């Protein structure tokens, strides 16, 4: 098989991509266990931490979880003091979810610090142009995955 054959290059890329995806899932499951969370709760917490305040409906839209599943998620994360519920003054039925960044970082930072350092060291071996290409790939691949997810959820 010719090393420069475009089909071989694409096949090698797909194999590397699949290995990366698998390793990412296994690593995040291990991180979650170490932090006392489920893999899903760990990833959903990461989504929630990207926002200052959310409603349960917002979380449902972001994660595509049902209302009941979101309530369970909020209950579990609140029990671990990783977020809290706040009631609005105007409508006591409306609940705002506020992530507790301090507690979340206290829990996750020690686990992630070595990973972040190794990733930074790895990126330092690439040129700015190479990093821009990698970033472009991840950005566009994420769009494709989001589109696929939306299509699957709407069928």
**DSSP-assigned beta bridge partners for residue 55:** 96
In a domain, 125, yes or no: no
119 within a domain of the structure (yes/no): no
Say if 133 falls within a structural domain.
no
Domain of residue 77 covers 6-100
Unique residue bearing structure tokens 């929630």 = 48
d(CA 154, CA 143): 16
Report yes or no on 105 lying in a domain.
Answer: no
Note the pTM of the prediction, 2 decimals: 0.81
55, part of any domain:
yes
pLDDT at 71: 94
Residue 4: pLDDT above 70? Answer: no
Would 128 be classed as within a structural domain? no
Residue with tokens 């369970």: 72
Number of domains composing the chain: 1
What is the share, in percent, of the chain residues with pLDDT greater than 90? 85
**What CATH number is given to the structural domain containing 50?**
1.10.10.10
Determine the average pLDDT of the residues in 112-133: 96
Is the pLDDT at 1 greater than 70? The verdict is: no
- On whether residue 131 sits in a domain, the answer given is no
pLDDT in tens, 69-111: 999 999 999 999 999 999 888 877 788 999 999 999 999 999 9
Rounded mean pLDDT of 52-76? 93
Q: State the Cα–Cα distance between residues 36 and 68, nearest whole angstrom.
A: 22
pLDDT at 154: 84
Query: How far apart are alpha carbons 92 and 49 in whole angstroms?
Result: 24
> Which residues neighbour 145 within 8 Å (Cβ) at sequence distance 6 or greater?
none
């Amino acid at each position: 098989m010719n090393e420069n054959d475009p089909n071989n290059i694409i096949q090698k890329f797909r194999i590397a991509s699949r290995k990366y995806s698998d390793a990412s899932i296994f690593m995040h499951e291990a991180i979650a266990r170490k932090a006392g969370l489920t893999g899903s709760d760990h990833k959903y917490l990461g989504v929630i931490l990207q926002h200052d305040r959310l409603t349960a409906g917002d979380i449902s839209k972001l994660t595509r979880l049902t209302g009941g599943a979101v309530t369970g998620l909020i209950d579990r994360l609140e029990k671990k003091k990783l977020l809290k519920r706040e009631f609005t003054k105007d409508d006591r039925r409306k609940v705002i979810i506020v992530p507790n960044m301090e507690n979340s970082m206290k829990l996750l930072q020690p686990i992630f610090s070595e990973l972040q350092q190794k990733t930074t060291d790895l990126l330092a071996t690439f040129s700015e142009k190479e990093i821009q290409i990698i970033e472009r790939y991840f950005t566009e691949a994420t769009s494709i995955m989001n589109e696929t997810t939306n299509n699957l959820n709407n069928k």
